[in-house]
Amino acid sequence: MVDNQSSMEIMQSRWWNGGSPMRKEDEEGEGGWGRGRRMRKKKEARKRAAGASGGSPEKTTLHKLILGTYAGDERNYLMIAEVQLPIEDAERQMRVFDVDHGEIGVFEGARGKSKVKVIQQIKHEGEVNRARYMPQNSSLIATKTVSAEVNEDAVEDVAWHLRNEYLFGSVGGDQHLVIWDIRAQTTDKPIQSVFAHRDVVNCLAFNPANEWLVATGSADKTVKLFDLRKLSTSLYAFNYHKEEVFQVGWSPKKESILASCCAGRRILVWDYSRIGDEQDPEDVEDGPPELLFIHGGHTTKISDFSWNPYDEWVIASVADDNILQVWQMAENLYYSHGDKLPPDEPSSPRTPT
Within 8 A by CB and 6+ apart from 287, the residues are 37, 240
Decide: pTM greater than 0.85.
no
Extents of the domains making up the chain: 4-40+128-333
Burial of 241 (C-beta count, 10 Å sphere; 0-12/13-18/19+)? buried
From residue 185, how far is each of 171, 180, 182, 188 by CA, in Å?
22, 11, 8, 9
Structure confidence at residue 215 (pLDDT): 98
Structure confidence at residue 217 (pLDDT): 96
Yes or no: say if 53 and 96 are a contact pair by the CB < 8 Å rule. yes
Low-confidence ranges of the chain (pLDDT < 70): 1-58, 88-114, 135, 144-153, 187, 335-353
Displacement of CA 45 from its chain's centroid (Å) = 23
3-state secondary structure 142-193: EEECCCCCCCCCCEEEEEECCCCCCEEEEEECCCEEEEEECCCCCCCCCCEE
Structure confidence at residue 124 (pLDDT): 85
Structure confidence at residue 237 (pLDDT): 97
Rounded distance between C-alpha atoms, residue 249 and residue 200, angstroms = 18
Structure confidence at residue 16 (pLDDT): 44
Residue type, 346: P
pLDDT tens figures, 291-328: 999 998 898 888 889 999 888 889 999 898 888 898 88
Structure confidence at residue 117 (pLDDT): 85
Structure confidence at residue 261 (pLDDT): 95
Q: What DSSP character marks residue 323?
A: -
Q: Is 139 helix (H, G, I), strand (E, B) or coil?
A: strand
Yes or no: say if 176 and 201 are a contact pair by the CB < 8 Å rule. yes
Residue 17 CB coordination number (10 Å): 20
Structure confidence at residue 105 (pLDDT): 38
Structure confidence at residue 166 (pLDDT): 84
CATH 3.50.50.60 correct for 4-40+128-333: no
